Structure 1
Amino acid sequence: MAAARARTGGPVLVIGHSLGAQLAALAAQRSDHRPDGIVAIGASVPWFRHYGRRAVPFAALAASVRPVTAVVGHWPRQGFAGPTPRTLMRQWARMVLTGRPPFDLDGSIRVRALMVRLGDDELVTDQAAAAYEAAFFRDVVTRWTYDESCCPAGGDATHLGWSRAPVTGRYLPCIVVQLAPPGRSDRRIPCRPRPLGRQRPGSTTAKSDSRPSGSSGRITTEFPD
């Protein structure tokens, strides 16, 4: 983070999707790597108890990860979110079964955070998203739901599809960087994406299983002073 600030001369905003959002939270709890702001897209603590009727099959899927990866050497393409490296998938499975992410859920993160929930997210329930947000001090959190009303033609608001749609796949980082500049409040933002070449200096993306995406329409969001 210090190197990024020195290089850009400005604040550093970390954008993370899914497991990438967990890496962003982990960085925010470490004083030596703390960013100036976080944008968490499709973020959750995927404990199986957060999934209602899907809890048992979800737990069974997680329980199958260790034996499958022991035989195959990785999580195969035919499986959920495959192909995925063995270590990463085992970490995910451990979190599903125990409810313990790699960061503390104690409200101690005081870095400004924009939580982008995907309107058609089939993998993140409200309980799972709220569990992730529990890691942050309440007054630093702003929420925005990216749903079909924000999608341009060809857009997608599912957990993985939002980043793969031909129109939206390039733009959401540009939009959220406009939404979440440190020190601004009560901003009404037109969702007209800027070209990637004009992305705000100092922003960086934590990736897991996707690429960035975009939006259309108008929204209102607030950031605490």
Structure 2
Amino acid sequence: MRTTTVHRIVLPVAALALAATGCAKGTDDDTAAKGQAATEVCGGFAKGPGVAPALEAIEGKGVRLTGDRSEPDRVVSELRKAARTPQSGKKRMTGIPFCTLETAGDEKNVLSITLREALAVPGSDASKDLVTAYSTGRLATSSDLYASIYFTCRMPAPAHAIVLDAELERADENEADHAGVRDEQIVLANAAARQVAGALGCGDTRLVEGVPAKARS
């Protein structure tokens, strides 16, 4: 009689545990489907002054986002490694995805921001008629679907100074084409660059806070 009673108690408890697990999983799925606000994605890089409004202007007001393909931790670790690698024999680094954003639910591409070590800062004359230049870092430009900021990162020894490039590419399917979109793109690239520079402990970046001003011609 005692054995039968134990089974009658244990089985309902096990069933309740499975049901609870199922509910928890459902909650996680619901959260993923709802996405995140502009200030929450990719480690909260868009929390600074003027940054979240710039992202909302591109994504759409109130749109929730996912950044599942983003690798901000890998960005920091790979760039820290690059700063400790001797300059001789270095090859062009492929951009590492700091923040890759899609709209929650329909997975529509919004934009991606990558960072990499650059071998040098390019000349600014070649494309000056096609881009808008800004005063942040060593060279900052933005065009209709693309923005780039080159900046120096001086880390404590044994690391050496390296040039980094923060590149933003807006997806073709993102139709946020309006007068201020170049400004908004450079604001986001600058915010991402500042967050990575802070994590690395970079000095002498010349990266400004908030919204970079257009460079004087």
TM-score relative to the length of structure 1: 0.22
Higher relative contact order (CA 8 A, sep 6+): 1
Question: Which structure has the greater CA radius of gyration?
Answer: 2
